[in-house]
Amino acid sequence: MNFLELCQQRYSSRDYMNVGIEQEKIDYILRCAQLAPSAVNFQPWKIRYVSQKADMQKLQQCYNRAWFATVQNCFVVYKNKEVEWVRKADQKPHGDIDVAILTEHICLAAAELGLGTCWICNFDVEKLKEHFASPDYLEPVVLIAIGYPADEAKPKQRKSLSEIML
């Protein structure tokens, strides 16, 4: 499959089979994530892989949606605020951008392996911090639901190239 086909194949799955993910696939996905580029190569991220039922129940308290109850595996991606690069010209921090790049590497690697994913940014950060202790300099940025999809991709609704080009 070429890159365009991979991009077309990836979608936000919101229903997952009750099947575990093979460790070799998780290892592959993490290796792909490790290779994600970042501003000045600072790599300002940490990844937590959640697969234990009790921990998934804690995550579900942080993002209480019916579809999320079908998720058995999830990555939590943190931004290391002490390591993120800040552009000097306007003091723009790039950690969130770097985490987004890493997150999409995870999603595309998963799609290549036949796994579904869904970015989740609308979660209760404080509750997540209560359930999963981490140093203050680590900020939870995104949850990535991952597993074997039980749903099918819907047609992608995208703006035309003329609408996105200047």
**What pLDDT does 54 receive?**
97
Contact, 44 vs 85, CB < 8 A? yes
Tell me, yes or no, whether 164 lies in a domain. no
The answer for 102, left when phi > 0, alpha when psi is -120 to 50, beta otherwise, is: alpha
Q: Is the dihedral of CA 22, 24, 27, 28 positive or negative?
A: negative
State the CATH number of the domain containing residue 133.
3.40.109.10
Beta strands in the chain (DSSP E): 45-50, 73-80, 86-87, 92-93, 116-120, 138-147
**What pLDDT does 20 receive?**
92
As beta bridge partners, residue 46 has 78
Domain assignment of residue 66, given as a range: 9-151
**What pLDDT does 117 receive?**
98
Residues of the chain scoring pLDDT < 50:
none
Contact, 143 vs 120, CB < 8 A? yes
Q: What are the structure tokens assigned to 161, written together?
A: 């190239």
Tell me, yes or no, whether 134 lies in a domain. yes
Tell me, yes or no, whether 100 lies in a domain. yes
**Number of separate domains in the chain:** 1
Model confidence, pTM: 0.96
Tell me, yes or no, whether 157 lies in a domain. no
Tell me, yes or no, whether 158 lies in a domain. no
Q: What are the structure tokens assigned to 133, written together?
A: 């202790």
**What pLDDT does 163 receive?**
97
**What pLDDT does 110 receive?**
98
Tell me, yes or no, whether 162 lies in a domain. no
Rounded to whole angstroms, how far apart are CA atoms 101 and 165? 21
**What pLDDT does 103 receive?**
98
As beta bridge partners, residue 98 has none
Tell me, yes or no, whether 48 lies in a domain. yes
Tell me, yes or no, whether 159 lies in a domain. no
